[in-house]
């Protein structure tokens, strides 16, 4: 076979990667000492020394590379980090080491709990909610007058957007931007009887101490965001900043096409606004209510109403907990996915269902899986969560292990449920032509739970 000609630098990289792959700690150490540039170099299919050592279970080499300041974030051509690779190949001690990060990283304390689910769509806390200000009506009124305050407008729970993606933090598939209106544009709607105004928070980071009192006219430098909602077409009343603005026609799929920061704001705003639109009257006595706490509370107007005594959760925005689970075959090599009739052709997803009163998350998982697929589930492990503002669910994502494998679907809810092999799932994630099914979109926690199981960088 003819020898490949390589330049000396490429040859050195290849040798270095080879030592890492074989677990030769001495050679890895001496090569980095002489040529520090080697540490984050990658070779075939984007594999770095850290990935190769993680793949082959070379704990000491991984430790050495980390001590020398190796970057843990690069991904190979299959979108896996070194951490994903260590998990995928079952080297738990290396995965723990890799997710531990720097000394100050709090994951050190609970290494097994590490998941990057905080980066999920709808999970970005772009605003500081500043809840301590919700009862400060003077501050709220001043913020509503401030020239830099942002107002987001919703009509029937659909936000006003422009069809231009945000450049600063968008992913490739973000195609809408929330219209950030200023006071003069929304003036006619403020105080209108059919509109609801809620205080969402201020832009992070805080630029002054949270409880600094603000005298009249004095600015604390915080940019406040409000959501303004109406059930009547506001087109005549509002001055749109540009002709491209339009309300989303339907929540899906439009709400999945925002930048990650704006999706986080919508997750908060839409759920609170949906609660206002459904709870206009007191659920205890049917009387009218007043909006308090910057839109985060409704108080009954009838003196003597039971809801005014003690704490009534009906006075506060509601959240519905939903368990969503990837059920794993008892042998560990297959997972159970189902499809509803409304899913796009070929798509399968995790089973899910509302948690019932008096139920733990674990019991909710076992009951929903039994009802929907006839499969019995044993151990359940929490993975991560995601607000899902359609209208106000909190998705509680779990992995669960099946005790039985025979499938018997509840045809009222699920059209089909099937066991898929790990390889079939991997094929679906890399969109191979021969994939036998397609995954839910990356914005859904179901997508995350599936990729997390096969040890892939879930957000890519
Ligand atoms: N982000 C994601 O990846 C996914 C999100 N979801 C969300 O989870 C939610 C629940 O999943 P499903 O399979 O529909 O639940 P499910 O399996 O409990 O069945 C839904 C039925 O449960 C009843 N129900 C019980 N409590 C309810 C409540 N608080 N609100 C409304 N209906 C209630 C209704 O009859 C409803 O038709 C869905 O609304 C969906 O938006 C579901 C799957 C994936
Ligand atoms: Mg369900
Ligand atoms: Mg169900
Ligand atoms: Mg249910
Ligand atoms: Zn009442």
pLDDT at residue number 178? 95
Dump pLDDT digits (tens) for 157-179. Answer: 999 999 876 665 545 566 899 99
Cα(371) to centroid of ligand 3, in Å? 6
pLDDT at residue number 92? 84
Query: Which of 242-256, 371-385, 432-446 is modeled with the greatest confidence?
Result: 371-385
Is residue 261 helix, strand or coil? helix
In this prediction, the answer to ipTM > 0.85 reads yes
Q: What is the mean pLDDT of residues 293-317?
A: 94
Domains present along the chain, CATH in parentheses: 9-100 (1.25.40.20), 127-166+173-206+221-279 (3.90.79), 320-455 (3.90.79.10)
DSSP 115-155: --GGGSTT----EE--GGGTT-HHHHHHHHH-TT-EEEEEE
Ligand (nearest to CA of 395): 1
Cα(395) to centroid of ligand 4, in Å? 13
- Residues within 6 Å of ligand 1 by CB: 320, 322, 324, 349, 352-354, 368, 388, 390, 393, 395, 413, 440, 444-446
Mutate to test the pocket of ligand 1, among 123, 353, 367, 449 (most ligand atoms within 8 A of CB): 353
pLDDT at residue number 1? 46
CA-CA distances (angstroms) from residue 331 to 20, 99, 311, 366, 436?
32, 26, 48, 18, 21
pTM, 2 dp: 0.83
Q: Phi and psi of 420, rounded to 5°?
A: -115, 140
Mutate to test the pocket of ligand 1, among 352, 417, 443 (most ligand atoms within 8 A of CB): 352
Q: What percent of the chain has pLDDT over 70?
A: 89
Cα(296) to centroid of ligand 5, in Å? 17
Q: What is the mean pLDDT of residues 53-71?
A: 94
Out of 46-55, 105-114, 435-444, pick the least confident: 105-114
What residue's CA is closest to ligand 1, atom 41? 390
* Residue 356 Cα: closest atom of ligand 1: 26
């Amino acid at each position: 076979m003819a020898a490949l000609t390589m330049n000396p630098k490429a040859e050195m990289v290849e040798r270095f990667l080879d030592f890492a792959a074989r677990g030769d700690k001495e050679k890895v150490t001496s090569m980095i000492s002489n040529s520090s540039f080697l540490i984050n170099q990658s070779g075939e299919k984007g594999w770095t020394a850290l990935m190769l050592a993680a793949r082959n279970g070379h704990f000491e080499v991984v430790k050495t590379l980390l001590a020398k300041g190796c970057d843990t974030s690069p991904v190979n051509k299959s979108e896996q980090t070194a951490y994903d690779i260590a998990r995928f190949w079952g080297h738990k001690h290396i995965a723990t080491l890799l997710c531990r990060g720097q000394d100050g990283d709090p994951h050190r304390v609970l290494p097994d709990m590490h998941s990057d689910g905080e980066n999920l769509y709808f999970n970005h806390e772009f605003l500081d909610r500043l809840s301590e200000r919700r009862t400060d009506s003077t501050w709220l009124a001043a913020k509503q007058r401030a020239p830099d305050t942002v107002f987001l407008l919703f009509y029937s729970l659909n936000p006003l957007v422009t069809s231009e993606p945000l450049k600063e933090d968008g992913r490739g598939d973000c195609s809408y931007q929330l219209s950030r209106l200023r006071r003069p544009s929304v003036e006619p709607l403020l105080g209108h009887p059919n509109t609801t105004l809620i205080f969402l928070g201020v832009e992070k980071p805080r630029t002054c101490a949270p409880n600094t009192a603000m005298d009249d006219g004095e600015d604390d430098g915080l940019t406040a965001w409000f959501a303004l909602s109406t059930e009547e077409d506001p087109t005549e009343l509002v001055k749109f900043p540009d002709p491209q603005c339009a309300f989303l026609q339907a929540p899906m799929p439009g709400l999945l096409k925002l930048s990650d920061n704006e999706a986080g704001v919508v997750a908060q705003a839409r759920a609170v606004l949906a609660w206002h639109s459904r709870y206009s009257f007191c659920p205890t006595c049917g009387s009218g209510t007043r909006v308090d706490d910057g839109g985060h509370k409704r108080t009954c107007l009838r003196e003597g109403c039971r809801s005014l005594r003690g704490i009534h959760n009906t006075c506060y925005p509601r959240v519905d907990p939903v368990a969503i689970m990837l059920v794993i075959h008892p042998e560990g090599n297959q997972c159970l996915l189902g499809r509803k009739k409304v899913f796009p052709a070929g798509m399968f997803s995790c089973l899910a269902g509302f948690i019932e009163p008096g139920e733990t998350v674990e019991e909710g998982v076992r009951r929903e899986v039994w009802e929907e697929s006839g499969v019995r589930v044993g151990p359940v492990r929490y993975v991560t969560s995601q607000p899902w503002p359609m209208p106000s669910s909190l998705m509680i994502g779990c992995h669960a292990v099946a005790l039985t494998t025979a499938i018997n679907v509840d045809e009222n809810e699920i059209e089909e449920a099937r066991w898929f092999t790990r390889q079939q799932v991997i094929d679906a994630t890399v969109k191979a032509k021969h994939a036998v099914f397609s995954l839910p979109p990356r914005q859904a926690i179901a997508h995350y739970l599936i990729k997390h199981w096969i040890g892939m960088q879930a957000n890519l």
